[in-house]
Amino acid sequence: MAKVMIVYASMTGNTEEIADILGEELEKYDIEVEIEECISVEPEKLLEYDGALIGGYTYDDGELPDEFVDFYEDMSDVDFSGKVCASFGSGDTFYDEFCLTVDLVEKRLKEQGATVPVEGLKVDLDPDEDDVVRAEAYAKTFADALLGK
Ligand SMILES: Cc1cc2nc3c(=O)[nH]c(=O)nc-3n(C[C@H](O)[C@H](O)[C@H](O)COP(=O)(O)O)c2cc1C
C-alpha cells in the first residue's frame, strides 16, 4: 500500500481543514495517510513515505508561518528524488502576496528533486464547496502520479 505523509502549519484551522480533506480524498484511492503538524516532524521523515503533501498558511504580508520556518529550511538538506510531492495552503486574497507559502514550498520541493505532479492548491480562507471540488481534482492528479496511473 502506498503511504503519504501530510504535513501542515495552521494557526486558525483553515490549512488543517484542507489537510483533512486531502487526507480523506487520498484514502479513497487506497493510499495510507498520516497527518502531522510541521512542529512534530522533520523533513527527513518524509523519506519513509512514497510521497508527501506539505501545507502552510501565509502570514505577515508574504511570510512563512514562524513555526514552519525550521521545517522549510531543513527541507534543503533532504533529497526528495523519487518522491511524489505537492504543496497546499490557505491565505487571504485581501493580501498582495496571496498564499506565497504554497509557492515557496512548491519551489523548494522541485529544487530538492521531488516529482511535483500538480500545482499547489491555494484556498481563500476556509475551504468552501468549490474549494472541495478543486481539492478532489488535486488529490486525484496526485494519487494518479503516486500510483503510476
Ligand atoms: C497578520 C496577518 C498577515 C497575513 N498575511 C497574509 C499574506 O501575506 N498572504 C495571504 O495570502 N494571507 C495572509 N494572511 C491570511 C492568512 O493566511 C489566512 O487567514 C489563513 O486562512 C490562515 O490559515 P490557518 O487557518 O491555517 O492558520 C494573513 C493573516 C494575518 C492575521
Residue 97 beta carbon below 6 angstroms from any ligand 1 atom: yes
ipTM: 0.99
Kindly state the average pLDDT of the residues 77-95: 98
- Domain with residue 99: its CATH number is 3.40.50.360
Sequence letter at residue 46: L
DSSP bridge pairs for 124: 91
Q: What is the pLDDT of residue 142?
A: 98
Number of domains the chain is built from: 1
Residue 101 beta carbon below 6 angstroms from any ligand 1 atom: no
40/71 Cα distance (integer angstroms): 10
47/81 Cα distance (integer angstroms): 10
- pLDDT, one tens digit per residue, over 9-54 is 999 999 999 999 999 999 999 999 999 999 999 999 999 999 999 9
Residue 7 beta carbon below 6 angstroms from any ligand 1 atom: no
Residue with more model confidence, 149 or 122: 122
CA dihedral 65, 9, 140, 97 (to 10 degrees): -20
> Grid cell 531543513 — which residue?
74
- pLDDT, one tens digit per residue, over 105-137 is 999 999 999 999 999 999 999 999 999 999 999
Q: Which of 10, 12, 57, 61 to mutate to test the pocket of ligand 1 (most atoms within 8 A of CB)?
A: 57
123/89 Cα distance (integer angstroms): 6
71/74 Cα distance (integer angstroms): 5
Q: Which of 58, 66, 93 to mutate to test the pocket of ligand 1 (most atoms within 8 A of CB)?
A: 58
85/53 Cα distance (integer angstroms): 6
- For residues 78 and 111, is the Cβ–Cβ distance under 8 A? no
15/28 Cα distance (integer angstroms): 20
Domain of residue 122: give its range: 3-146
pLDDT band at 149 (very low <50, low <70, confident <90, very high): confident
Residue 60 CB: number of other CB atoms within 10 A? 10
